[in-house]
Structure formats: C-alpha cells, structure tokens
C-alpha cells in the first residue's frame, strides 16, 4: 500500500475505529490530542501521540496549523479526518493536499460541490435523482416571498453550507417567512461562515433513508444498501437500523443504483452517503450527500461483512475496491444506538467521571467506545460516548438482542440516554416499524 503512516485528526471512538483498521492493514498511526484528552484511549493505542493544544476545539482539534504541524513532525503521509471536526472542511483538505499529505476522503473539489447544498441539488437533478421542489440562493425578500408562494407552505429554509441538522427553519405560513429567513441567514453565517440560504418544500414527519455508496479512482461505483435513520431529535440522528423496513429488494436496488449513478457522474472516489427523505406516499427525495464516513457506518458493516474504513483507506491509497456490486450480500438486521452523556430530561451534556462501567457483550453485540471506568468525560466536545450495535438474522431477533444489551449496559457517575433506548425498543410503534422523524414526539 502506498500509504504507510496515518495521522488521525479526531478523537474518541472514531479515532479508535480508524486505529484498528490501520493496524489490520499494517499501517502506523499517529493520534493527536488536547490537554483534556491526555488520558484518552486513542492516545494510548496509537503508535504515536502528539499534543496539539488546549481543551477547546478551536485550540486543538480545529486548529489546522497545529494538526498539519503534527503530521509533519510525525512523518505521516496521510490524514484521516473521521467525522465531525474537519472531515468536510474544504479549506482544511486543500491545505492537506498542498502540504503533500494524502487526505483519506474525496478531493476538495467534490467536498465543495456536495457541501454546497444548492449545487448538490443541481448535480442530483442532472443525474436523474428526484429532489424536492426548491430554489437557488435567495438574497432578496421579494425572491423569498415569490419562492414560498410558488412552492407552497409549509417550506423549510436551509443554509446552503449547512449540515448535521443545523441551519434549518420550518415555516408554516407567510407571517413567519421573513423572520425565519433572516434568522437562518444569521445562524448560517455564525455556524458555517456563509449566510447563503435556500428554500425547499417541507415534508412533515418523513422517513429518513440513506444509501451507503463507495467508489474508487478506476470508475468502480457501487452501493451497500440503505440505513433507516428516522428516529431523530432536532434533526440529529439517535437510532439507526439496516436494512429499512419499508424497502423491498427491488426498491433497495433501484434507490441504491440511483445513488451510485449520481456519485459516479461527479467522479466520486471514496466512501459517502446519499441521504433521502421519504414522504407518506413512499416517494424518496434527495436531501444531501455526506462526503465522509458516517457515525452509523457500523450497521452497514454488520449486514454486509465489509470493513468500510479499510476500504476507504485502500481507495485513498489508489487501489481498486476489493469487491463488486454482485459480491455485496445483505444478511440479517442491525441496529445502532448512540449513547450520549446527557441529562435524560433536558438533554444537556453530562460530563464527569465514570465511576463504574459494564459494557454489554455476547453473540451479535458490538460496542464502539473510548470510555472506561474512572475515565472523565470532558465538557468540551460532542456528548457521544459510545455506539451500541446489535446484529441478528432478522429484525425481531435484533430488537430482542438490543433490549438484552441495553439491560446489560451500565454507566455510573454521569447521566446517559440509555433509558431512552429501552423505551424505544419496547414501544409498539418501533417494534411494528412505524417510524418517521416525529417518532420521539409520540413516544410515551
């Protein structure tokens, strides 16, 4: 392999996940860490570790000069961004490439294309992928009024550079249109450094279906089926499963090939995810594309037996995908719960020391985490502390396994959302597969 040493520009469970994939491929790893993470497991298990700054993200994991300096000092020849932080930061990727490092992901051109939601919509239209009625960038009030009237209420105003569930406002009638437009512009500029926004038709309580795609630089493009990500809070995913209960084999292949063709049209060459909303009639519409490994990539790995991170590394090293579309076999059912350190009522982060820990195990159970007993969850980063993944021959058995694993999961000293997942796994709607993005509002 042309890559020999990978610097991981991230922390927590995803940093450990990448370290494991690299080690199995015979690659050396370099961890970076803030002073708050000096006792973190990714620091302990990487071949090398370099402190790059103070606890705040701005002073460490988002400090691009410090990240690049660490890569230079360590002799790394590639940088893996994981997800979050700098994973889809086109300016970072441009500097990585300019400094002579290999970025584990697509080119800066493709990240910019898919990061601009308006341009991404246009690329999908050109590929024949259905998109919701929508607009280009709207800069004048008169344009905003005209667009909303043409589309029809309710509408959703979105940041063109948005992502991760941020930079969106739902508008039900004309009275709230301009205030929402102005607020979204302000929030978008603060969050993404770009005030551009556009309008789309809003679908109330859709299902959120995403297709895992993968491509190499030799023109090989394929999909690995779908993930159901409809259980969300404030547009943030909480529980994901694969496959979805609403797609049969024919529809799965149709939607998967549609997504694969779309990314093939733009010359994509890494792992990625094409996301869709499904309305009450069962029609799917493109929402966005994520040009990185996803938090929920684990459930696709469980049902296909394919290591997505290793494939991502191989493709970045200039190798061909190690399998063909015909070799992708979906077996069984997998569910993932995102375990967060947070107050179960207010959802406020709950940092602090873990005084006792017992991770679930047994057949078909996987836990991706970087926590341990006596570990102190810092208050500076995302509240995700673990991912509980179960796999079984069918959905019924997967739900039973999930309930058992949740009952075994013990985290003392801090608050978590484990009880929320126990309630979800026991609810009739979940068991019967009646899912949409409004699921949590109806959960008793």
Catalytic residues: 292
Longest CA–CA separation in the chain, Å:
60
- Residue 90 in tokens: 């086109």
119, 113 Cβ separation under 8 angstroms: yes
Looking at residue 202, the DSSP 8-state letter turns out to be P
- The helix or strand, by DSSP H or E, that contains position 123, with its residue range, turns out to be helix 117-126
Q: CA 68, CA 98: separation in Å to the nearest integer?
A: 11
- Please state whether beta strands 28-34 and 48-53 pair in parallel, antiparallel, or not at all (unpaired): parallel
Angle at 349 between CA 347 and CA 350, to 5 degrees: 110
Ramachandran angles phi, psi of 242, nearest 5° = -150, 135
Cis peptide before 302 (omega within 30 of 0): no
Which one, of 74, 79, 73, lies nearest residue 94 by Cα?
79
Report in angstroms the alpha-carbon separations of 411 from 67, 88, 347, 401: 32, 32, 16, 19
Core vs surface per residue 40-49: b (16+ CB within 10 A) or e: bbbbebbebb
Looking at residue 62, the DSSP 8-state letter turns out to be T
Which one, of 117, 132, 280, lies nearest residue 202 by Cα?
132
- The helix or strand, by DSSP H or E, that contains position 69, with its residue range, turns out to be helix 64-74
SS3 letters across 214-242: EECCCCCEEEEEEEEEEEEECCEEEEEEE
């Amino acid at each position: 392999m042309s890559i020999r040493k990978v610097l991981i520009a991230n922390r927590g469970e995803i940093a450990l996940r990448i370290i494991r994939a690299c080690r199995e491929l015979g690659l050396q790893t370099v961890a970076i860490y803030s002073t708050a993470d000096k006792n973190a497991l990714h620091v302990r298990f990487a071949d090398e570790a370099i402190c790059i700054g103070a606890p705040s993200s701005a002073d460490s994991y988002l400090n691009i000069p410090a990240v690049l300096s660490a890569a230079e000092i360590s002799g790394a020849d590639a940088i893996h961004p994981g997800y979050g932080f700098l994973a889809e930061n086109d300016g970072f990727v441009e500097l990585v490439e300019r400094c002579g490092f290999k970025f584990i992901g697509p080119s800066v051109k493709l990240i910019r294309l898919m990061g601009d939601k308006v341009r991404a919509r246009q690329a999908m239209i050109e590929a024949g992928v259905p998109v919701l009625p929508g607009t280009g960038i709207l800069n004048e009030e008169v344009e905003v009024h005209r667009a909303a009237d043409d589309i029809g209420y309710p509408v959703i105003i979105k940041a063109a550079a948005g992502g991760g569930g941020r930079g969106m406002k739902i508008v039900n009638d004309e009275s709230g249109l301009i205030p929402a437009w102005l607020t979204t512009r302000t929030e978008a500029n603060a969050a993404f450094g770009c005030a551009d926004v556009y309008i789309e038709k809003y679908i109330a309580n859709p299902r959120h279906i995403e297709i895992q795609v993968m491509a190499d630089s030799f023109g090989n493009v394929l999909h690995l089926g779908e993930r159901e990500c409809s259980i969300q809070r404030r547009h943030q995913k909480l529980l994901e499963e694969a496959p979805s209960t609403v797609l049969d084999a024919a529809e799965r292949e149709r939607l998967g090939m549609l997504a694969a063709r779309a990314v093939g049209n733009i010359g994509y060459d890494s792992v990625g995810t094409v996301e869709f909303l499904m309305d009450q009639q069962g029609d799917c519409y493109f929402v966005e594309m994520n040009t990185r490994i996803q938090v929920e990539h684990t459930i696709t790995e469980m049902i296909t037996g394919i290591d997505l991170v290793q494939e991502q590394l191989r493709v970045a090293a200039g190798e061909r995908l190690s399998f063909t579309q015909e070799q992708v076999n979906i077996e069984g059912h997998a569910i993932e719960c995102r375990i967060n350190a947070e107050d179960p009522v207010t959802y406020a982060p709950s940092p602090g020391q873990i005084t006792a820990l017992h991770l679930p195990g047994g057949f078909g159970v996987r836990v991706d985490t970087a926590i341990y007993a006596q570990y102190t969850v810092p208050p500076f980063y995302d509240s995700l502390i673990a991912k509980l993944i179960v796999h079984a021959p069918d959905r019924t058995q997967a739900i039973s396994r999930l309930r058992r694993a949740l009952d075994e999961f013990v985290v003392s000293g801090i608050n978590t959302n484990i009880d929320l997942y126990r309630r979800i796994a026991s609810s009739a709607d979940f068991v019967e597969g009646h899912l949409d993005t409004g699921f949590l509002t109806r959960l008793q």
